Chains A and B, each alone.
Chain A
Amino acid sequence: MNSASRWIYAVSFALAAVGFLIPLWPLSVLGVLLATLSGRFVAGLLIGLLLDIAWGAPAAPFGFLYFPFTLAALAVAALRYWGAAYFFDRATPDTL
Chain B
Amino acid sequence: MLSSAPFIISKRRKPRLPRVLGAAAIVALVIAAWYARAPLSGLLWQAGAPLVAARNALGETDSSRLRAEVARLNARLADRDTLYRENLDLKALLNRAAGRSATLAAILQRPPGLPYDTLLVDAGEDEGVLGGSLVSLGGSALVGYVSEVYTNSSRVTLYSAAGIIHQGMLHVGAKTVPISVEGQGGGSMHAQVPAGTGAKAGDLVSLPSVGLGLTAEAVHVEAKAGESFETVYFSLPADLNARFVEIWQ
Contact = CB atoms under 8 A, between A and B. Distances in A.
Nearest to B55: A21
Contacts of A56: 37, 41
A41 to B, nearest CB: 9
B26 A53 contact: no
Contact of A93 (B6, B22, B40, B44): B6
Nearest to A66: B34
Contacts of B10: 95
Q: How large is the interface on A (under 10, 10 to 19, 20 to 34, 35 or more residues)?
A: 10 to 19
A4 interface: no
B30 A70 contact: yes
Interface in B31-65: 33-34, 37, 40-41, 44-45, 48, 51-52, 55
A21 B51 contact: yes
B1 interface: no
A67 B8 CA distance: 43
Contacts of A50: 44
A14 interface: no
For B7, B30, B55, which residue has the most chain A Cβ atoms within 10 angstroms?
B30
A61 B142 CA distance: 48
Interface residues of B, number: 21
B2 interface: no
Given A49-B30, A67-B30, A96 B8 contact: yes
Contacts of A42: 22, 26
B64 to A, nearest CB: 14
B83 to A, nearest CB: 31
B37 A93 contact: no
Nearest to A22: B55
B94 interface: no
A46 B41 CA distance: 14
B9 interface: yes
Contacts of B52: 21
A50 B22 CA distance: 17
Contacts of B55: 21-22
B16 to A, nearest CB: 16
Instruction: Enumerate the 3 nearest inter-chain pairs by beta-carbon distance, A residue then B residue, closest first.
Output: A93-B8, A53-B40, A21-B55
Interface of B: 6-11, 22, 26, 29-30, 33-34, 37, 40-41, 44-45, 48, 51-52, 55
Interface of A: 21-22, 42, 45-46, 49-50, 52-54, 56-57, 66-67, 70, 92-93, 95-96
